[in-house]
Amino acid sequence: MSSSSSQCPADTSRELCWHPLHDNDLAQAHGLSQRLGWPHRMEDWATMLKVGHGVAIDSPDGTLIGTGFCLPQNRTATLGLVIIDDAWQGKGLGRVMMTRLMALAEDRTQLLVATVAGAPLYQKLGFTPFSTVHQYQGVVTNAPETPETVEGLRAMTEQDIEAVMALSPDNAVHAEAVRQATQGVVIERDGQLVGLALRRPYGRGEHIGPVMAESPEQARALMATLLSHAQDAFVRLDLVDPQEDSLLTESGLACVDRVVRMRRGPAVDDSVLPRFGLINQAMG
């Protein structure tokens, strides 16, 4: 959970209006994330609304002071973009927001990436850490060569879309990432896809994710292929417990943050392949 600054009247929290987040709330929601220094574009907020359920809090004067999303993804649900305006902190709104988002998740296992400020609340609500997400970003100043040693590595084509969708079935978030992708690479073996990475517009530039593969070596080859086409572009990746990062640092990217990923409920994974990189932190 994060906070964002604005002015507020005296304690009138009982008069707050809780409601589903709609298209006409996106401009104010974007303003909340901008005040936090988060990179989300209006388009990124709109994507969250398209694939998930948004919750909004309005102050008595109609100003948006809080947001949160629940993104159902088959047997899991990712909770994200939980923001409470700084001026409204300390009134229990974060806990109420989380309770509402958890209810939207129904009986799904709930996943989130915890800010330092939000982690204590999430732990009180029953979330436990299970991995660490390393955020890499920067301008690609030294694009790697395209790997030539990975059998079956090739560009994604229109004919692959059905199989790519099946790598994370019944998951509207994954499906939307596929639709938004400007470039994709896959690894195919014996007619089956055993690796996938996508590149799409996001935030300050582009995002590479998800990255799905059978092994770290395959994941590295997928990322290298996309980075080889990204010279001078601003690129971000959110990697799950990476074993090493020389490919990224040698390309000009830096690890700018490490955040804890938390889970409430049993461990389940509907993806066909291990996930080495997230779509992004808010979308899983």
Residues 120 and 167 in one domain: no
pLDDT band at 4 (very low <50, low <70, confident <90, very high): low
Q: Is residue 172 part of a domain?
A: yes
Helix (H) or strand (E) holding 164: helix 161-166
More confident residue, 178 or 12: 178
Q: Is residue 282 part of a domain?
A: no
Residues 173 and 109 in one domain: no
pLDDT band at 127 (very low <50, low <70, confident <90, very high): very high
Summarize pLDDT for 29-78 with one digit per residue, the tens: 999 999 999 999 999 999 999 999 999 999 999 999 999 999 999 999 99
Instruction: Look up the domain containing 21 and give its range.
Output: 2-126
Half-sphere exposure of 140 (CA within 13 A, CB side): 24
Summarize pLDDT for 139-162 with one digit per residue, the tens: 999 999 988 778 999 999 999 999
Q: Is residue 43 part of a domain?
A: yes
Which of these three, 126, 160, 185, is where a domain ends? 126
Residues 98 and 159 in one domain: no
Q: For the chain, how long is the longest CA-to-CA vector? A: 66
> What mean pLDDT is predicted for residues 184-188?
98
Q: What is the mean pLDDT of the chain?
A: 94
Which of these three, 105, 126, 147, is where a domain ends? 126
What is the reported pLDDT for 10? 41
Q: How far apart are CA 160 and CA 194, in angstroms?
A: 12
CATH code, 254? 3.40.630.30
Q: Is residue 283 part of a domain?
A: no
The two structure tokens encoding residue 238 = 């959110």
Residues 14 and 91 in one domain: yes
The alpha carbon dihedral of 237, 243, 247, 252 has a sign of positive
pLDDT band at 6 (very low <50, low <70, confident <90, very high): very low
What is the reported pLDDT for 147? 86
Which of these three, 126, 158, 191, is where a domain ends? 126
Question: Angle between the 42-51 and 26-35 helix axes, to the nearest 10 degrees?
Answer: 120
**Domains in the chain, number:** 2
Residues 197 and 224 in one domain: yes
Q: How far apart are CA 22 and CA 94, in angstroms?
A: 20
